[in-house]
Amino acid sequence: MGELVEYSPKEDIESGDNIHHRCHPLHITWLSGFNPRVPLLNVSTTRDRKELVLASGNTLLFYCYDGEREKIMPVVGHKNVVNMIGCEETGRFVVSSDCSYAINVWDRQVGGDNNLPPIAIRTIFEPFKSKGEIGAISLSRDGKFLLAGGGIPTEQGSQLKLWSWTVGNDFPDGTITLPTRLGRIKNIHFCPDRGCRNQFVVTLESGVAFGAWDSKEQKLTIQVPKRHGFQDYNDTVFVEHTDRAVSVTGAGMAVLWSNDRKLSDGADGSVLRKEFLKYLHLKYASINVVRSCDEKIVTGDDDGEIRFYDNSMKILYWVKQEDLEPIRTLSFELVKSHQWKSASDPDEEDDQPSKEEPTEKKVELNIEDIAPKDVSFEARPVIVRGFVSATKSGKIYDIDIVYNKIKELFLQSPSIITAFAVHSARSELCTCDGNGRFVVYDFQTKSKRLALDVPIQRTRRGRITTLSYSPCGTFLAGGAENGFLWMVEPNLMILAGSGPLQFTSEKLRSVLFSEDSKHIVCVDESNTITLVARVKDDWQSVGRCVSHRLVDLAFLGAADFISIGEDRYMVQYTINADEMVQLEALSIVNRKRIEQSAFPTALLILPGGNQILVANDQLKFKIFHARTLEILQTFLAPFHDGPARFLRHLPGEDYFLFITNSNIYLHHLPIDGNPFKYLAVRGHPKRLKGLQVAWTVRSAFTFGEGDHAVSMWKINTSPLLDNIRHAGTGLDPFCTLLPGGKKGCYVREILSLFFYNQISPKNSDGDAELTLRDAMNIQDVPNYMRSIGFHMTEYEEQNLRKEMELTGTYFLTFEEVLKLFLNHRTATGGPPNTEDIRTAVTYIGATTSSGEKVDLVRLITLLASMGEPMDPKTTEAYCRILFPSAFETDNQDDDAVPECGTAEDCTNCISIDEFADKLC
């Protein structure tokens, strides 16, 4: 491997122009929170500038706070959820890992002063094979070694693997397996003392293991002290400048380990054998984290208390937060301890100016006079560098006990996001979490503006499940699991009215304002649609109806809206707001079936308001007329990562966005089935649950399963336009969907069949001269498609004929026919195989009692009465052609309907294997 060359960006790149954004249709620019379950990392190297590394989903957040403003730089570098972060002693190199896919080493100084994001300079893919998970990672203090622990502990025991990552080896330098009885690995820490930096300690569920890497022997060794009945270990660290280590447990115990004096220490790099020294019962609550810094041992527990001990575990000092939230992370700065303080530099709380003359020499006060005193009889000062603590509820505190300063940092992430909405006119985002906390952000400045705690029930039945801004921006509606409809005034973030509106006890799945902001349509879990109208200064329920299991809905106008459901129907509704007319406030005016076997997943009103775009789970886009609900066109949708959901139009432009299971797509309008008209980025490691578009900043917002934050994605249409421009014209982009492409044998075969159709007997007129042309009668297109592999149903044929009639011509060119074939055919899978046919005839009951033969007479009868009925004479004709031996006895009397007995050797029965092979 060659030497590492430092990356230096070009000087002509404009400020804020990200090279990745120029290549991707969407680029993540901001997140509203972080994942508090992943321990954060404090990489601050100066006291006046806080630098943190946090995780949110599969994204790393490089956070900076200079005392005036916060800056967040998100970087996506993992396929799965990030579960561990670490660094070496200088903080330049940061290592991160996800659940099972990869380990990345990042260089934070690669951008210098250009405000560019860090880049991954080393990646290790799938370090633990056979579905092994990555449990913990750590970099040695000198940054030379990378240690990872994981695997499948229940089957083969956890493994430790070590890399000299700067060399670039693909395989680990050392591997060792831990005993199965120790359970899952929780964390790994290297020894900070010089001369012992090759040593490390591994904390597992049921024990502790000490290890070392021998550079001379190139060998990884471990030593597990004898068990002493302790369980539920949470963390273990080496005590600086001593031969001890300390572990903390979930029972509030501290277990001390020391070198075994009976055995002489080995050579440098070998394991220093540890033995149990003593244990102390420190708390009745779980101690979650322990650190050793500045000759102090610091612990954080579930009581929200941070305690300081000396190296002999004598308590010196403690700090308690006011809210008493469980401490999950303690991370100290990478700077030395406080030494002095200038008397001419007043504290932030001191408003009195300095009375010293400019010519006088500054007086330096001893830091020991400022620091708090410990609880010993000597009352010695407690001097320790600043650190950052993170709580279970997602709050981050910057703590400096010397100056008695506690400051809350970053954006709170108290609970998992359950719903969010984007303001229609302002740069405003509102989120709601599982605790009922509404938070409004200004995504222009990327800061929190207002917050509101809704008094919901502290159970799953009270959570907010859906949020919606009114088009005028004056109202904000939130639906809850217990049927409450909370109305909020977003400008002030106060509740409107005396309490929530409740018209059902079922979960509200969707809340949508009308275009004039006078009505709200609410859909609950029982499939009831409730119309809520604004009466004077209050909201009241004025109408209800039940139509179907609703999937998505949208407004066609101020008084009309439309919905699609799992029953494969599209339903149109109208709102009657005239009190003088004796009509229902909410009524159904049209209802039409739009699918035969597929389920619709989302709808979108296309620009102009006359067409409705519907996506289904068979990876198709269908366009319907907005008034008659008749089908207009069918197109192929993206066929990766599941069906399209949450269709959102980009206002004022010919683009719309949608999500699948894990990807965010940008699609160009108009739709024609061209696979080069859309591009996607991976938006979530698990499953995306929502999508909104803000035209004020030309960005998309998403959140996914288990997220504590909403992601903001900058939209860039240039890569998509370049993709379309270089895809070619005519059939060039469409033929990429066929085997072999445009010049492949498959295209030549279907082109030959296209012309053979014109010289078929049904198209010939006796001895008249035949003229071949590049056009086919629309009446012949369905059978032609069946001959080249698309076996459509009668319902699909009807839709195809309707679409061809709308072209206004009786003949279609080969290009037009091929596009229809690619857009209508099944997107996933191929023609039925023998196993599919065996399953089908067995399911409908066309086999004999033993199930080994197919009764053709019974099959003909069933096909004439089930599903799309077939003419018995036509079916019998097909069976006689395919299976002539089964009808030999009936050749004398062609008009008689064959009869079949119950015997297994009946002449009208045929082997199920022969039947399946013949149809394939």
Residues 295-312 have pLDDT tens digits of: 899 999 999 999 999 998
Q: How far apart are CA 617 and CA 601, in angstroms?
A: 6
Give the list of residues 6+ apart from residue 58 with CB closer than 8 angstroms, or none: 76, 77, 78, 79, 80, 81, 82, 98, 682, 684, 685
* Phi, psi of 915, rounded to the nearest 5 degrees: -65, -45
Highest mean pLDDT range out of 199-203, 263-267, 318-322?
199-203
Task: Return the exposure string of 252-284: e unless at least 16 CB atoms fall within 10 Å of the residue's CB, then b.
Answer: bbbbbbbbbeeeeeeeebbbbbbebeebeebbe
Q: What average pLDDT does range 822-834 have in this prediction?
A: 81
Model confidence at 157, pLDDT cuts 50, 70, 90, reads confident
How far is the CA of 484 from the CAs of 373, 379, 433, 504, 522, in angstroms?
53, 57, 16, 8, 11
Which pLDDT does position 906 carry in this prediction?
A: 53
Task: Inform me whether the pLDDT recorded for 22 exceeds 70.
Answer: yes
Q: What average pLDDT does range 486-504 have in this prediction?
A: 88
Q: How far apart are CA 442 and CA 432, in angstroms?
A: 15
Q: Which amino acid is at 106?
A: W
DSSP letters for 129-143: TTT-EEEEEEE-TTS
Residue 649's nearest CA partner among 661, 658, 641 is: 658
Which pLDDT does position 882 carry in this prediction?
A: 85
* Tokens 């009889």, residue located: 377
Task: Inform me whether the pLDDT recorded for 563 exceeds 90.
Answer: yes
Task: Inform me whether the pLDDT recorded for 579 exceeds 80.
Answer: no
Other CB atoms within a 10 A radius of the CB of residue 868 amount to 10
Model confidence at 618, pLDDT cuts 50, 70, 90, reads very high
Report DSSP state, residue 303.
T
Q: How far apart are CA 479 and CA 476, in angstroms?
A: 10
Task: Inform me whether the pLDDT recorded for 367 exceeds 50.
Answer: yes
Q: What average pLDDT does range 520-547 have in this prediction?
A: 91
* Averaged pLDDT score across all residues of the chain: 85
Which pLDDT does position 580 carry in this prediction?
A: 54
**Residues, the chain:** 920
Task: Return the exposure string of 526-561: e unless at least 16 CB atoms fall within 10 Å of the residue's CB, then b.
Answer: ebbbbbbbbeeeebebbbbbebbebbbbbbbeebbb
* Contact of 678 with 667, CB cutoff 8 Å: yes
Q: By percentage, how much of the chain surpasses pLDDT 90?
A: 51
Highest mean pLDDT range out of 390-394, 742-746, 799-803?
799-803
Helix/strand/coil (H/E/C) assignment for every residue in 404-418? CEEEEECCCCCCCEE
Lowest mean pLDDT among 150-159, 286-295, 474-483: 150-159
* Phi, psi of 377, rounded to the nearest 5 degrees: -65, -30
Higher pLDDT: 100 or 272? It is: 100
Which pLDDT does position 839 carry in this prediction?
A: 86
Other CB atoms within a 10 A radius of the CB of residue 780 amount to 18
Q: How far apart are CA 797 and CA 824, in angstroms?
A: 10
Residue 570's nearest CA partner among 608, 599, 610, 528 is: 599
Q: Does residue 822 sit in helix, strand or coil?
A: helix
Which pLDDT does position 868 carry in this prediction?
A: 83
Task: Return the exposure string of 889-907: e unless at least 16 CB atoms fall within 10 Å of the residue's CB, then b.
Answer: ebeeeeeeebebeeeeebb
Output the six-digit token pair for 458: 């502290």
Which pLDDT does position 409 carry in this prediction?
A: 83
Give the list of residues 6+ apart from residue 135 with CB closer than 8 angstroms, or none: 84, 149, 150, 151, 153, 158, 184, 185, 186
Q: How far apart are CA 145 and CA 173, in angstroms?
A: 10
Output the six-digit token pair for 180: 């199965």
DSSP letters for 826-892: -SSS-S--HHHHHHHHHHTT-B-TTSSEEEHHHHHHHHTTSSS---HHHHHHHHHHH-GGGGGGGSS
Other CB atoms within a 10 A radius of the CB of residue 610 amount to 12
Higher pLDDT: 580 or 546? It is: 546
Q: How far apart are CA 380 and CA 605, in angstroms?
A: 72
Helix (H) or strand (E) holding 605: strand 600-605
Q: What average pLDDT does range 671-683 have in this prediction?
A: 94
Q: What average pLDDT does range 515-531 have in this prediction?
A: 93
Give the list of residues 6+ apart from residue 706 with CB closer than 8 angstroms, or none: 81, 416, 686
Which pLDDT does position 112 carry in this prediction?
A: 52
Q: How far apart are CA 464 and CA 277, in angstroms?
A: 52
Model confidence at 768, pLDDT cuts 50, 70, 90, reads low
Q: How far apart are CA 250 and CA 238, in angstroms?
A: 19
Q: Which amino acid is at 276?
A: F
Task: Inform me whether the pLDDT recorded for 403 exceeds 70.
Answer: yes
Interval 852-906: pLDDT, tens: 888 888 888 888 888 888 888 888 888 888 888 877 655 444 454 444 444 344 5
Q: Which stretches does DSSP call E strand in 37-118?
A: 41-42, 50-56, 59-65, 70-76, 82-87, 93-98, 102-107
Which pLDDT does position 885 carry in this prediction?
A: 80
How far is the CA of 111 from the CAs of 11, 23, 91, 116, 139, in angstroms?
12, 19, 15, 5, 22
Helix (H) or strand (E) holding 796: helix 794-805
Other CB atoms within a 10 A radius of the CB of residue 466 amount to 23
* Contact of 326 with 288, CB cutoff 8 Å: yes
* Tokens 């895809």, residue located: 727
Q: How far apart are CA 858 and CA 845, in angstroms?
A: 8
Lowest mean pLDDT among 92-106, 697-711, 839-853: 839-853
Q: Does residue 13 sit in helix, strand or coil?
A: coil
Lowest mean pLDDT among 166-170, 216-220, 361-365, 658-662: 361-365
Other CB atoms within a 10 A radius of the CB of residue 846 amount to 21
Which pLDDT does position 356 carry in this prediction?
A: 47
Q: How far apart are CA 15 and CA 85, in angstroms?
A: 29
Lowest mean pLDDT among 71-75, 253-257, 265-269, 657-661: 265-269
Which pLDDT does position 5 carry in this prediction?
A: 44
Q: How far apart are CA 875 and CA 882, in angstroms?
A: 11
Residue 35's nearest CA partner among 21, 62, 56 is: 56
Residue 220's nearest CA partner among 164, 168, 166 is: 164
Q: How far apart are CA 533 and CA 543, in angstroms?
A: 9
Q: Which stretches does DSSP call E strand in 660-710?
A: 663-668, 678-682, 688-694, 699-704
Which pLDDT does position 19 carry in this prediction?
A: 55
Which pLDDT does position 359 carry in this prediction?
A: 45
Q: How far apart are CA 250 and CA 206, in angstroms?
A: 11
Interval 201-257: pLDDT, tens: 999 999 999 999 988 888 999 999 987 778 899 999 999 989 999 999 999 999 999
Residue 408's nearest CA partner among 634, 70, 722, 789 is: 70
Q: Which amino acid is at 900?
A: C
Which pLDDT does position 583 carry in this prediction?
A: 72
Task: Inform me whether the pLDDT recorded for 8 exceeds 70.
Answer: no
